[in-house]
Every structure is written in C-alpha cells, then in structure tokens.
Structure 1
Amino acid sequence: MTSKPLPKQAILIVNAMSRRGADVFDEARAKLELAGVELIDAIAVNKPDQMDRTVIDAVARAPMVIIGGGDGSLSSTIDHFVGKDTVFAILPLGTANSFAKSMGMATDVDSAVDVIANGRRRRIDLGVIDGDYFVNAAALGLSPLIADTVPHQLKRWLGMVGYLIWAVRSAFHFRPFRLRVTLDDGSLVKAWATEARIANGTHHGGVELVESQAVDSGEIVIQAVTGKSLFGLAWSWFATLFKLRSRGQTTTEWRGKTLRLEARPRQKISVDGEIAAKTPVTVCIAKGAMEVAAPRE
C-alpha cells in the first residue's frame, strides 16, 4: 500500500541557539518556499524556555512541523508529536546531527529541504528512558562527561574538532564503571565498561557506531565498549570510524523491548547530547510512535 504524501503546508521552528540556527534561518525559509512548501509560520526561537510552548502550538496548527536545530533540540520536542497526526521534519543544524544520519539524510540545508519537499512519510520507533522519549541515542561513560562539561563556545565555533579536543581533556578525569543489564527474559549480564550506548538509531556523536540498529527495528539496543582501558575505548572509536574489520570485536550488544540498566558507580546519561538521566533506568522501545519526513527509498 502506498503511503500518503508529505504535507505541503508546514511550520518552521528553528532553535537560533543551535550551532548554525541563527545563520541559516532566512536561507532555509526561502529555500523551503522555493521548493513548494507553504510555510504557515516561520519562527526563530532565541530563548530555550520558549521552545516547548512554540512546538506545542505548532503541532496543533500544522500538518507538518519542521524543527531546525541539533540532536538535543529534536529530542527535547519529540514528546509533543507522539500520538499526533502531525509529521515531524528536521533541519539538521547541530554539531553531530546523529539523528539525521541515522535517517540516511545528508546534513546540508539543500539536502534537508529536498527531503522535506520531496521525501516520504516513514513511521519510526522512539527510545524511552523512564517514560521520557528520545529520537536517536543515549550514552553513559565518557560521552556524558564530555557533554556535561564542554564549553558552549568551543563546540559552537569548532564543531566536532572542539568535541575531540575536550574528549582528550576529559579522559584524564574518567574511570570505568561496572555495568549491569537485565534482559527481556529476566536474565542479568554484567561487564566492566568505559562507555555504553542506548540506541534507537545507528549514529552517535556523528559516527555510525551501532550498525545493527534501525529506527524501525521494534527493539532497543544497548551497546557497550567493555573492559577497563581507555585505550580500548579509543581503539573502538577508531576501528568503527574507519570501518576496520575488527570493530565488531570491541563492543558487546544486547537488544530487546524493555531492558533495565544499572551502573556502579552511578552514571549520568546524555540523551541525544544533553544530560537528562542517571542510572539506574529502564529503557524500552515505543514501536511506530510517530511519522517523520524521510528520504525517498
């Protein structure tokens, strides 16, 4: 059965505080209208506390809402689309843009506009951590330490290079942790780890780390870089980044519909790049939770 086409009317909401938000707002608005998308409204949000209210209002007024910003902006607004008929469309304007990459999108403005104007509807899953929805991936270990401490101006001006510089600095303050995962069948697995990812999508930190996952798999994946060595963590990232054959040997994965995650010592969890939880948590999948604008097959 052929799915309905994407709506031709939409509201554009751009987080002007995201890395490229303020710079491309006018450009994106003009290109969307030129591509045939009728904008009911176009709003640049300059204050973080106004984002939720703006999105709630837009979802009630438009058949499609385009969110421009980084992964954190997308994840923080996703709850307002669950259970609604409004299509969620993205304009990736952050540093890593992991969700866009998990969706198979290029991250330049022209490509995003093409998806919004000429793409297809796709029903996808969402991850859930203790009742809170997220679009792409969460992490505990070194990644949250970086996310929690990286200066905003460093990532704004240097992007991924700024993250890498701060990652080296943060590594000197990081210690491995003891991970406990309770699976769907009640069995418990334990391992030492330097990082763990809770994945609904394939990408984390802009890199394809969880190749076995898809945003419509119907399962949540926990992937851990096991062991106590930070060198092992660095090697895992390197092997994955450059697609070495040995990359699968550097991680362990568990998947299911509902998993319990614990850590000793307790770990902060970054959810799509923003610190939003702390172990222990229950993670699960919300299958087919929403419709998005996706690239053509």
Structure 2
Amino acid sequence: MRTKQELSAAIRRERRAALVVNAHSRRGRQLYEETRSRLVAAGFTLLATCPVDRPVELEQRLAAAVDLGPDLLVAAGGDGTIGTAARLLAHRDIALGLLPLGTTNNFARTVGIPLDLDAAVAVLTDGKVIDVDLGLVGSMRFTNHVGVGLSADVMLSTPPRLKRVVGRLAYPATALALLARHRPLRAAVRAEGREHEFVTHQLYVANGGFHAGRVITADANADDRLLVAYPVGGPTRRGLLRDTARNAATGHRRTLGDEPFLAVRELWLETDRPAPVEVDGEPYGETPVRIGLDPNALRVMAAADSPDR
C-alpha cells in the first residue's frame, strides 16, 4: 500500500481513473456525458467509462473498474452507489472519487465534497487523499447509517419514480403514508457495559455527520472512530414528527454530548420483535444486529484543506 501522500501524488501526476455512473440515479442519466467530458477535460485518462442503467449490475461494473487498477475510482451517483463502491475499495490502494448525483448525498456532505459538479471535479484534480472510517453491521461495511424501524419500511416502499421526480422529499412523503399504521419498537442498545432502552418508531446508528441531507450534530464525522446511536421521537407518532422537524432545524447546533445521542465504538441492538433494518438506504435484514467500526478503512479524494486523522 502506498502512503496517502504517494497516492495523492500519483493521482495528480498520472490522472489514471475509472468512471462508473449510476445512470439510474436521479441525475445520473442526464449528466453521464457531461461528467465524462469534464473529467477528460481535466486531464484524466479514463481506463473505463461505465454508465449503469440497471441497479442489479452496479456492483459488477464497479468491481470490473477496480480490476483495471486505477489510482482513482470515480463513482457518480447517490449514497447507494457510493456505499457499494466504498465496500469494494475498503483497504485497497485505490482512492474513491465522489461525484454526488443522488437524492441526499449524505456521505459526500460528510467528507466535504461539493454538490456542484464543477466543484466536485475540481476536488478530484486539486485535492488530497484522506482516510475515513466505515461502519460494520455483521460483516457488511457501510458509509452512512443503519436504520431500524420506520426508515427500513420507507426504503422498501418508496417508489423509484417518486425519488427521481421530487428528490429527497420522496422519503418523508412515503413515511407519512406509512406512519398511520406503524407500531413503536422497544429497542435495547448495549454498549460499553451499559444498556440503554428506547421506545420509538425509529432508531439510527450513524457513521458520519449527515442524514437525509441534514446535519446530525455539529461534531460528528466519518473520521472520529465513533458511531452515533439515537432514537427519533418516543412512542407517539406526533413525537416522531416533532423530533424529525427539530433535528432537521437544529442539527448544526447540537453536539454528541446532547441527549439522546450515544457516541460509542460498538453496540448490540435488539428489539422487542424482529424489526426491519436498512443499511445506507438498502434492506439488510432484521434485528438483532451488532454494529461496529472499521477504522480508516477507506481512502477518499477530498479537498486539499480537509482534516485527516
């Protein structure tokens, strides 16, 4: 493995990259040609350019691009695309380049990648390689979060066409439709020798600073060796709606020391009945689950002034 400095220098000098675009994502289809053209104009030699129209083919196309041995794998799409690429690149001598074309772009926001396409390409040309943590649920790595309860039902139920039309508003719209018949969970979180119990419709475990395109807390990030577990609301539907709105409005002013956040390295989560689990917006299974960290598992091309532990 090269050092981060050596890999950064190789990317700037050689500009050897592979591009995979999720053309099924909200903006990917319209921006594929533009994305490819801008990378070529920036001096990159593209070993592969792969638009992926069928989600079932995404992992295969990403793996094929990795096998070509680029210094930089540029993944253009939403959080699902980025998460799949991150799992493939964990502990590899290849940096992940992000072009955020999705609905919420949580991981791109967490690592400070601009949502503007020109600015994101500039990070690939002028930035540096940093390493960040990945979460672990079972043996599966994740970039952003694990959701238990209503969010898993929402991910299973949100129509893809609705996401393309209204963007991230598709998720709260679907959640409101499901909430009327949703039952709260009694969830137990065991971590660091203590047990915490919550009665809630929704519980998250985050590896990073953003969820649903909004700040979770001012001091959470993907390079702090911490997971952040927190319920949203209590047993009532009104409480869920109230806390969802409060979190969106005040996340930038809250810290990990505030209630109800639990900042830990590993936890065991179980519920009073098997509950659906989603990982980075994809169905995973059911509770109980063990969730932990894979520290410094992923190399990412980030802005030149990005902090790096």
Q: How many angstroms apart in 2 are the aligned matches of 1:218 and 1:244?
A: 20
- Identify which of 258, 262, 269 aligns with 2:270: 262
Q: How many angstroms apart in 2 are the aligned matches of 1:193 and 1:31?
A: 46
- Identify which of 145, 155, 159 aligns with 1:151: 159
Deviation at 1:264, TM superposition (A): 1.9
Q: Does 1:82 align with 2:84?
A: no
Give SS of 1:113's match.
helix
Q: TM-score, normalised by structure 2?
A: 0.89
Q: Tell me which stretches of 4 or more aligned residues in structure 1 moved more than 6 Å.
A: 244-250
- Residues 5-20 of structure 1 correspond to what in structure 2 (within 5 A)? 5=8, 7=11, 8-20=15-27
Q: How many angstroms apart in 2 are the aligned matches of 1:229 and 1:251?
A: 18
Q: How many angstroms apart in 1 are the aligned matches of 2:170 and 2:144?
A: 22
Residue 243 (structure 1) aligns with: 250
Whether the 8 Å CA contact 1:239–1:246 is kept in 2: the answer is no
Residue 273 (structure 1) aligns with: 281
Q: Does 1:66 align with 2:83?
A: no
Encode CA deviations 1:71-118: one digit per residue, 9 max, x unaligned: 112212322111210111111111111111111222121222111121
Q: How many angstroms apart in 2 are the aligned matches of 1:212 and 1:125?
A: 15
Deviation at 1:39, TM superposition (A): 1.5
Q: How many angstroms apart in 1 are the aligned matches of 2:253 and 2:211?
A: 19
Whether the 8 Å CA contact 1:90–1:112 is kept in 2: the answer is yes
Q: How many angstroms apart in 2 are the aligned matches of 1:264 and 1:42?
A: 47
Q: Does 1:99 align with 2:104?
A: no
Q: How many angstroms apart in 1 are the aligned matches of 2:75 and 2:145?
A: 18
* Structure 2 portions without partners, runs of 5+: none
Deviation at 1:230, TM superposition (A): 2.0
Q: Does 1:231 align with 2:238?
A: yes
Q: How many angstroms apart in 1 are the aligned matches of 2:242 and 2:252?
A: 12
Residue 3 (structure 1) aligns with: 5
Whether the 8 Å CA contact 2:187–2:198 is kept in 1: the answer is yes
Q: TM-score, normalised by structure 1?
A: 0.92
Deviation at 1:226, TM superposition (A): 4.5
Whether the 8 Å CA contact 2:21–2:50 is kept in 1: the answer is yes
Give SS of 1:191's match.
strand
- Identify which of 287, 292, 295 aligns with 2:300: 292
Q: How many angstroms apart in 2 are the aligned matches of 1:246 and 1:115?
A: 27
Whether the 8 Å CA contact 1:225–1:233 is kept in 2: the answer is yes
Distance 1:251 1:208, change over 3 A: same
Give SS of 2:197's match.
strand
Bigger shift: 287-296 or 228-237? 228-237
Over aligned residue pairs, what C-alpha RMSD do you find? Answer: 2.2
Encode CA deviations 1:94-152: one digit per residue, 9 max, x unaligned: 11111111112221212221111211111000000001001111211222221110111
Encode CA deviations 1:18-41: one digit per residue, 9 max, x unaligned: 111111000011111222222222
Deviation at 1:293, TM superposition (A): 0.9
Q: How many angstroms apart in 1 are the aligned matches of 2:172 and 2:5?
A: 42
Deviation at 1:66, TM superposition (A): 0.7
Aligned AA (1:111): A
Q: How many angstroms apart in 1 are the aligned matches of 2:220 and 2:249?
A: 19
Whether the 8 Å CA contact 1:225–1:251 is kept in 2: the answer is no
Q: Does 1:192 align with 2:199?
A: yes
Residue 171 (structure 1) aligns with: 179
Q: Does 1:126 align with 2:126?
A: no
Q: How many angstroms apart in 2 are the aligned matches of 1:2 and 1:134?
A: 22
Residue 55 (structure 2) aligns with: 48
Deviation at 1:2, TM superposition (A): 8.3
Deviation at 1:268, TM superposition (A): 1.1
What percent identity do the matched residue pairs reach? 28
Whether the 8 Å CA contact 2:19–2:46 is kept in 1: the answer is yes
Q: How many angstroms apart in 1 are the aligned matches of 2:102 and 2:253?
A: 30
